[in-house]
Homo-oligomer: A and B are copies of this chain.
Amino acid sequence: MGGDHGPEVVIPALVGVAERRQDVRFLIYGIDEQVRPVMDRHPRLAAVSEFFPCEIAVRMDDKPSQALRHGRWKSSMWRAIEAVKNGDADVCVSAGNTGALMAMSKFCLRTMATIERPAIAAIWPTIRGESIVLDVGATIGDDAHQLVDFAILGAAMARALHETERPTVGLLNVGVEEIKGQEEVKEAGRILREVEPMSMEYRGFVEGDDIGKGTVDVVVTEGFAGNIALKTAEGTARQIGEYLRAALSRTMMARIGYVFAKSAFTRLREKMDPRRANGGVFLGLNGIVVKSHGGTDAEGFMAAIELGYDMVRNRLLDKIRSDLDMFHSRAPRPGRIVPDAGDAASAAS
C-alpha cells in the first residue's frame, strides 16, 4: 500500500520477479478496492500469490506512534510483518512509511537477544562494486556496543550477499587516526580490535570519502551521521547529473557529442540509477524486513524484493545468529569492557 504509487508499482514488480524466479510465492496485504483492480490486470500473478484484504493501511505521514496505535494487528503493514513472525513468509518488503515500518517491525518481530537496537543497512554503490552502510537512519546517538553490534550485523549481511568469507569492516569517523573522533566510535574500535571477531576483518576508521571508494565492505556508523551521509551522496549525484545535463545541452557541438556518446551516458545513468541499489534492510530483528524507497518504480521495487530473496536464500538470519554467538563467546559481556581512560593520546586530542 505504501510508497508514492502503492499497488500500481508493487503488483507489476511481483509479476516481474515471478517471471524470473520459479521458487517465489507472494503474500499480498492491502486494501481490497485498491489492490484487487491492479491484480486483475495481471491474471498470471494469482497462481503464485495470495491476497489478504486488510481493514486499514498505514499512511505515509503517520507518526510511528500513531501507526502503532491505529494499525497494530490489522493494518496491511502489520499483517505483512506478522506473516514473517508466524513463519508464513520469509521476508517482508514494503515501500511504506519508514518510521512506522521500523516501529511495527520492532514491536512485532522483537530485536534479537543480544541486540539493543535494530539498524537500517543500505547498499551503497562504490567504485569497486558495492558496500553495506549501516545505520542509515533507524537510530540516533549509538553507544560503542551498539556500533559493535552493527559491525556484526553488517558483516553477516555482506557474507549473505557477496559470499565473502571475512568481509572488511570500517568505523565511519572524522579521521583515520585512533585518537580522532567521537568517544563512542573510538571505544567501538577498541572493542573490535581487542575481540577480533572471526566473521569480519576489522580495518579501523574510515572517512566519508572512503564509502564511495569502496575501501571496506561494511561501513559502520551511528544513524544520524549515516542518514546525513546517505542523503548527501544522493544529493551530490543528482547535482552532478544536473551539471552534466546543462553542460551537454548548452552548445551545438556538445549536443552532437552527446549523440555519439549516448551509449556511454546510458551506461553512466544505469551505474548511478538509485533503483539498482534500492532497499534498506532492517537488521537485528527476528525476521527480515526490506524497506523499498517510497518513490521507486516497479523495477526498483523488484530490486528490493530480489534483495530480500538473496538474503533469505543465503540464510542471513542464521549467519547473524551464529556470528553473534561467536562474538559473545569471545568478548566479555557488554559493560565489562572498560575503555582505557588513561590513554594520554586520546585525552590530548
Interface positions of A (Cβ within 8 A of B):
63-65, 125-127, 137, 140-141, 172, 174, 179, 181-182, 207-213, 221, 223-225, 227-240, 242-244, 247-248, 250-251, 253-254, 256-265, 267-268, 271-272, 345, 348-349
Give CA–CA (A125, B240) in the complex, Å.
11
Expressed in whole angstroms, the minimum distance between the Cβ of A135 and any Cβ of chain B is: 11
Residues of B within 8 A of A227 (CB): 174, 207-208
The answer to whether A174 touches B268, judged by C-beta atoms less than 8 angstroms apart, is no
- Given A181-B224, A212-B236; A263-B272 close (CB under 8 Å): no
Residues of B within 8 A of A64 (CB): 348-349
The answer to whether B254 touches A264, judged by C-beta atoms less than 8 angstroms apart, is yes
Give CA–CA (A319, B212) in the complex, Å.
39
The answer to whether A238 touches B209, judged by C-beta atoms less than 8 angstroms apart, is yes
Choose one: B65, B258, B267; the contact of A261 (CB below 8 Å). Answer: B258
Q: How many subunits of this chain does the assembly comprise?
A: 2
The answer to whether B225 touches A247, judged by C-beta atoms less than 8 angstroms apart, is no
Choose one: B181, B208, B234, B267; the contact of A231 (CB below 8 Å). Answer: B208
Residue among A243, A254, A271, A345 with max Cβ neighbours from chain B (10 Å): A243
- Given A126-B239, A174-B140; A208-B232 close (CB under 8 Å): yes
The answer to whether B232 touches A209, judged by C-beta atoms less than 8 angstroms apart, is yes
Residues of B within 8 A of A181 (CB): 140, 224
Given contacts A63-B179, A210-B235, 18 further A-B contacts (CB under 8 A): A64-B349, A125-B239, A181-B224, A208-B230, A209-B234, A209-B235, A225-B228, A228-B228, A229-B232, A232-B232, A247-B261, A247-B264, A248-B261, A250-B267, A253-B264, A257-B261, A257-B262, A260-B260
The answer to whether B257 touches A232, judged by C-beta atoms less than 8 angstroms apart, is no
Residue among A179, A237, A259 with max Cβ neighbours from chain B (10 Å): A237
21 A-B Cβ contacts within 8 A? A125-B239, A137-B174, A141-B182, A207-B227, A212-B236, A213-B239, A225-B228, A229-B229, A232-B233, A233-B233, A236-B236, A237-B240, A240-B272, A247-B267, A254-B260, A256-B261, A257-B260, A257-B261, A257-B262, A260-B260, A261-B261
Residues of B within 8 A of A224 (CB): 174, 181-182, 225
